[in-house]
Amino acid sequence: MNIELYWIPGCTACLRMKEFVESAGLAFDSVNVDEDPARAERLLELGASAPAAVVDGRWADGCDLAAVARLLDVPYDAREPCPPGELQARYEAIMAALCRHMAQVAPEVLDTKPPSWEWTLRDISHHGASVMREFLFLYDPDAYPDRYEMDYERNRAPGDISSAEQIVDHATETLTRVRRWWEDDGHDDPLDRVVDTYWGHQTLHAAFEREVWHTAQHVRQVEALLSASGIEPDGPLGPSELDGLPMPERLFT
């Protein structure tokens, strides 16, 4: 097979897709769509966008590893998501870590960038503080209309975010909304309703788990940028927050 994997720097799902195909022992053509606009355009002509796996004109959404496995005809170890109550507890701990870390950030550190990625610490931390808002919208758009749609360029921190304190405030507001959802609805909902997510039709349970580990991955990246700036992260994420989540192993694509 001629396997092409289309990805964007910093994309958590892109990294997870690449690691999955690597673990299957398959060679692939790695296409950074930021650096190869002609091939990115051909991907769009197929009706796809990064992350995506493509074989002979057929494609699978890279966010859906089961679909990637079917396309590549390799085994996929389907697993049940962590129970909703466990996910809620993990999310609380992950967001608390993000707030602790950002409280350590001096203004000049906000513009720190990882290797081969144009997003700054400001962008990454604000994104991590925001992604669960997409789940809340999917759950009930009337109760949570402030949707956070996933878009590589639009998801950078707004221009008026100029301090770590603002990011902590934003994260705290997101967590407050999630707590309200959990207390009002989530605690006794099996989350088995199927919704139209940005990676196809999935259960709410799968969507909730994705945004938990999605948030955690960006918090891990924040920790790495703090360390690179000479700041020891206060209480970094560990096994109690991460074990059992379908995380990428690496931090950056």
**7: in domain:** yes
| Domain identity same for 236 and 162 | yes
Encoded amino acid at 46, one letter: L
| Domain identity same for 114 and 214 | yes
**250: in domain:** no
Instruction: Name the percent of the chain lying above pLDDT 70.
Output: 100
| Domain identity same for 162 and 183 | yes
Domain count, the chain: 2
Antiparallel, parallel or unpaired: β 29-32 and 3-7: parallel
| Domain identity same for 105 and 44 | no
For 73-96, b/e burial (b = at least 16 CB within 10 A) is eeeeeeeebbebeebbbbbebbbb
Look up the domain containing 126 and give its range: 84-242
Its pTM surpasses 0.85: yes
**45: in domain:** yes
Q: What is the CATH number of the domain that holds 163?
A: 1.20.120.450
Q: Is the pLDDT of residue 152 over 80?
A: no
**162: in domain:** yes
| Domain identity same for 61 and 93 | no
- The string of pLDDT tens digits covering residues 154-199 is 789 998 999 999 999 999 999 999 999 999 999 999 999 999 998 8
Q: Could you tell me which of 153, 154, 200 has the C-alpha nearest to residue 47?
A: 200
**132: in domain:** yes
3, 29 Cβ separation under 8 angstroms: yes
| Domain end point (choices 45, 72, 99) | 72
72, 88 Cβ separation under 8 angstroms: no
φ, ψ at 29 (rounded to 5°): -90, 115
Q: What is the CATH number of the domain that holds 48?
A: 3.40.30.10
Distance CA 45, CA 188 (A): 43
| Domain identity same for 95 and 8 | no
- The string of pLDDT tens digits covering residues 66-117 is 999 999 999 998 888 999 999 999 999 999 999 999 999 999 999 999 987 8
